[in-house]
Structure 1
Amino acid sequence: MIQRLARQLAKEERDLRVLEAVIEHQPIGITRVATETGIDEHKARYSLRMLEDDGLIEPTPDGAVTAEGFETHATEINEGLDGLIERMESLKEIDL
């Protein structure tokens, strides 16, 4: 169970690192995302696709850019992460 959670967390961390690269270097292409983050190009491409599906970024001919209204999404992400941290902390209280 913990391994599955760790794999999912690693994927989400990768997506956030890719999103951070887009924010800092937009417009940015796949090769530069991979270079800036140290993530393999095929994984960077997948993360970009997931971020686009989530409405966080948009593709342009020059590379990925943050989507319109991104600031609202960023606030939701940060609040969601805070909530997840609280939930994870409460899981440690379960007596196994």
Structure 2
Amino acid sequence: MIERLARQLRKEERDLLVLEAVLEHHPIGITRVASETGVDEHKARYSLRMLENDGLVEPTPNGAVPADDVEARIEEINGGIDHLIERVGSLRISEN
């Protein structure tokens, strides 16, 4: 169970790393995302697709760019992460 959670966390961490690259270097293509982040191109492509599905980036002929409302979405994400940190802290199994 913990390994599954750790894998998902690594994927989400990669998506946020790719999002940061888009925010900093837009418009940005897959090759540059991979170069800037150290993420393999196929994983960068997948992360960009997930970010697009989440409405955080938009594809253009010149590369990915942040969505128009990305600042508000980032605030939501950060609030959600804070909430998850609290929840994870309460997930300990009691030793009886």
| TM-score, normalisation: structure 2 | 0.96
For 2:52, give the aligned amino acid: E
- Residue 12 (structure 2) aligns with: 12
For structure 1, the residue ranges without an aligned partner over 5 or more in a row are none
Query: What's the CA shift for 1:90?
Result: 1.1
Q: How far, CA to CA, are the matches of 1:86 and 1:50 in structure 2?
A: 25
Instruction: Indicate the SS of the match to 2:90.
Output: helix
Query: What's the CA shift for 1:91?
Result: 1.1
- Name the Cα RMSD after superposition: 0.8
Paired residues, number: 95
Q: How far, CA to CA, are the matches of 1:86 and 1:28 in structure 2?
A: 35
- Residue 53 (structure 1) aligns with: 53
Q: How far, CA to CA, are the matches of 2:59 and 2:27 in structure 1?
A: 9
Q: Deviations over 1:47-69 (max 9, x none)?
A: 00000000000001110000011
Instruction: Say which structure is richer in strand.
Output: 1
For 2:64, give the aligned amino acid: A
| TM-score, normalisation: structure 1 | 0.96
Q: Percent identity?
A: 73
Instruction: Indicate the SS of the match to 1:91.
Output: coil
